[in-house]
Amino acid sequence: MMKRSEISEFEIEEKDFKLRLSRKNGDTQIIQAAAPVAAAPIAPAAPAAPATAAAPAEEQGVSVVKSPMVGTFYTAASPDSPVFAKVGGKVGADSIVCIIEAMKVMNEIQAELSGTITEVLVENGEAVEYGQPLFKVKTA
């Protein structure tokens, strides 16, 4: 495929897998292919956090609802429907707060905690990443 296109280098990195392909002098070579890493990294960038992690200490009693996947964030089921969650709205653990579309599948995201929405951190139609904060919820 690289010979048929203008691509000279391709790199993909997943959780614990990295693949880099490079084309030099018309030949395609695998420069680096790493299998899942058995040892933990020496200095991790940030500790792993569950889908609903506690907010920083300066925001005592505020938790963050994070995206459980990569996709497109939607505040409502359709443009004509009311939003699932808005600032000042109450949510329960099983309340749907948004939809994330991933590979043409609409995934309803639950709050997984109870409280009051204090901030919506993502715009409707915006692309989101795994672990990206979506909402701040006052739980205390």
Mind listing the pLDDT tens digit for each residue in 49-73?
444 444 344 478 899 999 999 999 9
Inform me whether the pLDDT recorded for 118 exceeds 90.
yes
Yes or no: say if 67 and 132 are a contact pair by the CB < 8 Å rule.
yes
Give the mean pLDDT of the chain.
77
57: helix, strand or coil: helix
Q: How far apart (Å, rounded) are the C-alpha atoms in residues 119 and 64? A: 9
Which residues make Cβ contacts (< 8 Å) with residue 97, sequence separation at least 6? 65, 84, 85, 91, 109, 110, 111, 117, 134, 135
Q: Give the lowest-confidence range in 46-50, 71-75, 93-97, 109-113.
A: 46-50
Q: How far apart (Å, rounded) are the C-alpha atoms in residues 99 and 105? A: 10
What the chain holds in terms of domains, given with CATH numbers, is: 1-38 (no CATH), 53-138 (2.40.50.100)
This prediction has a pTM of 0.57
